[in-house]
Amino acid sequence: MSVKIRLQRHGKKGKPFYWIVAADARSKRDGKFLEKIGTYNPNTNPATIDLNLDGAVQWLHNGAQPTDTARAILSYKGALLKHHLDGGVRKGALTQEQADAKLAAWLESKAGKVDAKKAGLSKADADAKAKALKAEKEANEKRIAAQAEAAKAAEAVVEEEVEAPADAEAAVEETPAVEENNEETEA
């Protein structure tokens, strides 16, 4: 019986959530498994991975073959490095303390990179929010200026209407005289 370390899909449509499991290679993707090693949530940025490092390394020692995606996850979390270092300890190339020190240094540098990515993402979000706020303020200022111009134009129209009726009455008085002249020429 060959054992695979692979992902088992959970979650709703469009929002996948995976379990990292050790399963018989003949079982279905979401079927029976031997042991749940961890979880993988690709919906967050950066992806959230919770992995039982010792359990994954134990399955690798027993000969379990990870799938391509599972191999990438195990490499990202340091399980493959620990498996490699344990091989060096078994062969006598390293002591257990040296292997543990190398693994701890690698995990620390990896955590620093992940924290830097999270900080960069939060900074990018803050910059995007500030840019959106600035654009919104500019749009509001333009809208307020347009309203002020419209109000001034309305006041100017009202003032013209106040001045225009006096001229309109004179024009109305002139128009009947013109009409009377037209009637006399027709007759």
Name the CA radius of gyration of the chain, rounded. Answer: 39
Question: Which of 38, 73, 93 corresponds to the end of one domain?
Answer: 93
Same domain, 30 and 40: yes
pLDDT at 71 over 80: yes
C-alpha pair distances (Å), 41 with each of 44, 63, 127, 173? 7, 26, 26, 86
Of 177 and 17, which is predicted with more confidence? 17
Of 172 and 157, which is predicted with more confidence? 157
pTM over 0.75: no
Same domain, 13 and 56: yes
Q: Is residue 167 part of a domain?
A: no
Domain range for 146? 95-156
pLDDT at 173 over 70: no
pLDDT tier, 180 (very low <50, low <70, confident <90, very high otherwise) = low
pLDDT at 29 over 90: no
Structural domain count of the chain: 2
Same domain, 103 and 89: no
Same domain, 142 and 99: yes
Write out the E strands in 92-183: none
CATH code for the domain of 66: 3.30.1320.10
Please give the average per-residue pLDDT across 115-142, as a whole number.
89
Same domain, 133 and 61: no
pLDDT tier, 10 (very low <50, low <70, confident <90, very high otherwise) = very high
pLDDT at 91 over 80: yes
Query: What was the pLDDT predicted at 31?
Result: 87
Same domain, 133 and 66: no
Query: What was the pLDDT predicted at 1?
Result: 65
Same domain, 112 and 82: no
Question: 171 phi and psi, to 5 degrees?
Answer: -70, -35
The mean pLDDT of the chain is 86
Question: Which of 93, 115, 133 corresponds to the end of one domain?
Answer: 93
Same domain, 76 and 119: no
DSSP-assigned letter for residue 45: S
Burial 113-143 (b: 16+ CB within 10 A, else e): eeeeeeeeeeeeeeeeeeeeeeeeeeeeeee
pLDDT tier, 39 (very low <50, low <70, confident <90, very high otherwise) = very high
Query: What was the pLDDT predicted at 56?
Result: 93
Query: What was the pLDDT predicted at 153?
Result: 84
